Amino acid sequence: MMFDGINLVGVALAAVASFAFGALWYGLLGRPWQRAARMSADAARPGPITMLVTFAAELLMAFIFAGVIYHAGGLSVKSGLISAGMIWTGFFLTSLVVSHRHQKTSPLLLLIDGGHWLGVLLIQGAVIGLVG
């Protein structure tokens, strides 16, 4: 199913895969993240609404990212991964650095969150590049 050159099945698969990656990432790094964010275990545990909002955001991200890859010159795993690296470096990493510096958080929080978003974008770029 296509929408203006964007394969909606690819978008859905990219969102599911990146959401699953996030669950695994923070499942493995949850305690260090919690300490770096200075949060209690109860405060750090996401509720169902937070998880739903997270998935919706990653679904929208995958849709927009698919449009960026498509309009930037064609769908392939290589173009998806290159686009992911460029978008992460130019937008995600820079935004995280500024936000975390202003919030005076631990550099570990930047590494964990930055690694998560890099993984999300690489997964979405690869899936969108592969599936369309």
Question: And the tokens for 115?
Answer: 């690694």
pLDDT above 80: residue 73: no
pTM, rounded to two decimals? 0.92
Tell me the pLDDT band of 43, cut-offs 50, 70 and 90: confident
The values of phi and psi at residue 105, to 5°, are -90, 170
Which residues is 3 bridged to in the sheet? 6
Question: And the tokens for 57?
Answer: 């955001």
Q: What is the pLDDT of residue 80?
A: 94
Give the integer Cα–Cα distance in Å for 29 and 26.
Answer: 5
Tell me the pLDDT band of 27, cut-offs 50, 70 and 90: very high
* Residue 131: CB atoms within 10 Å: 17
Q: What is the pLDDT of residue 59?
A: 98
User: Is the Cβ–Cβ distance between 64 and 112 less than 8 Å?
Assistant: no
